[in-house]
């Protein structure tokens, strides 16, 4: 069995830092979103501490995500070929992977998740500053903050649901998690799921 390198160690560690910060920023933020989730503040030392920590955790997550973004955005540009793949996505979800058009390093679904994560993090960053107490909130009028909190919540939900899809896809497609735990994937995995990328990588060798 041959293994192909899919991620450098630096990218993998970067990914896991973002993942850990996502969990922390996510839990601390959800605590303020719905009363049924307020108990998450217990993980951070109470309500006031959660309020203090959340913006720092979120900002750290965005900064770390930037490290992944600059490395990966080129491979995530949507192309014409992605349309054909997207059209057949329903079939794939039913379990018929065979008829799918061959894709490169990322398929249209992965690209969609990438841009959903990128855009939602950008919105979270910008709107988050607008009501970050006590330092930045005083510079923004109340009407602007009202829009900011709503957009912040919407972006957070988009981020969480995209991440759930991201995690599920990694579990669903066997052999994927290895790309982030070892940096490599099996040749059979590459052939089956990313045929064009497989051809490109093996041609170089």
Partner 1 sequence: MSSLQSQDVVARSATTTPSPSVRSTPQIAKLIDESKCIGCKACQVACMNWNDLRDDIGENIGVYDNPADLTPSSWTVMKFFEVEPENGSLEWLIRKDGCMHCEDPGCLKACPAPGAIVKYSNGIVDFISENCIGCGYCVKGCPFDVPRISAKDNKAYKCTLCSDRVGVGLEPACVKTCPTGAITFGSKDDMVTYGEKRAGELQERGFKNAGLYNPQGVGGTHVMYVLKHADRPELEDLPANPTISPMVSLWKGIAKPLAVAGMVGAVVAGFFHYMKVGPVESDEKSEGADEKEPS
* Residues with catalytic roles: 166
Q: How buried is residue 194: exposed, middle or buried, by Cβ count under 10 Å (0-12/13-18/19+)?
A: buried
Task: Write down the least CB distance from residue 204 to partner 1, Å.
Answer: 11
CA distance 142 to 31: 22
Task: Write down the least CB distance from residue 193 to partner 1, Å.
Answer: 7
Between residues 4 and 108, which has the closer beta carbon with respect to partner 1? 4
Give the interface with partner 1 as residue ranges (CB under 8 A). Answer: 1-5, 31-38, 41, 46-48, 50-51, 93-95, 97, 131, 133-134, 137, 142-143, 145-147, 149-150, 153-154, 157, 160-161, 164-165, 168, 171-175, 184, 186, 188-189, 191-193, 205
What sign for the dihedral angle of Cα 110, 111, 117, 120? negative
Task: Write down the least CB distance from residue 143 to partner 1, Å.
Answer: 8
Helix axes 142-172, 9-33, angle to 10 degrees: 130
Range list of β-strands (E), 67-169:
none
Between residues 66 and 170, which has the closer beta carbon with respect to partner 1? 170
Between residues 69 and 115, which has the closer beta carbon with respect to partner 1? 115
Helix (H) or strand (E) holding 205: none
């Amino acid at each position: 069995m041959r293994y192909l390198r899919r991620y450098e160690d630096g990218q993998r560690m970067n990914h896991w830092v973002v993942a850990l910060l996502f969990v922390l920023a996510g839990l601390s933020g959800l605590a303020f979103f719905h009363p049924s989730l307020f108990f998450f503040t217990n993980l951070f030392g109470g309500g006031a501490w959660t309020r203090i920590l959340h913006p720092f955790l979120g900002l750290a997550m965005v900064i770390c995500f930037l490290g992944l973004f600059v490395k990966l955005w080129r491979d995530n540009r949507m192309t014409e070929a992605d349309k054909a793949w997207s059209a057949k996505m329903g079939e794939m979800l039913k379990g018929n992977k065979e008829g799918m058009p061959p894709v490169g390093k990322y398929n249209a679904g992965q690209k969609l998740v990438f841009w959903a994560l990128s855009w939602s993090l950008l919105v979270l960053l910008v709107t988050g500053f607008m009501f970050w107490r006590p330092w930045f909130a005083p510079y923004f009028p109340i009407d602007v903050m009202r829009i900011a909190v709503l957009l912040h919540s919407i972006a957070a939900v988009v981020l969480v649901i995209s991440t759930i899809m991201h995690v599920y896809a990694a579990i669903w497609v066997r052999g994927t998690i290895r790309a982030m735990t070892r940096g490599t994937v099996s040749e059979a995995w590459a052939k089956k799921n990313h045929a064009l990328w497989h051809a490109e990588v093996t041609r170089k060798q």
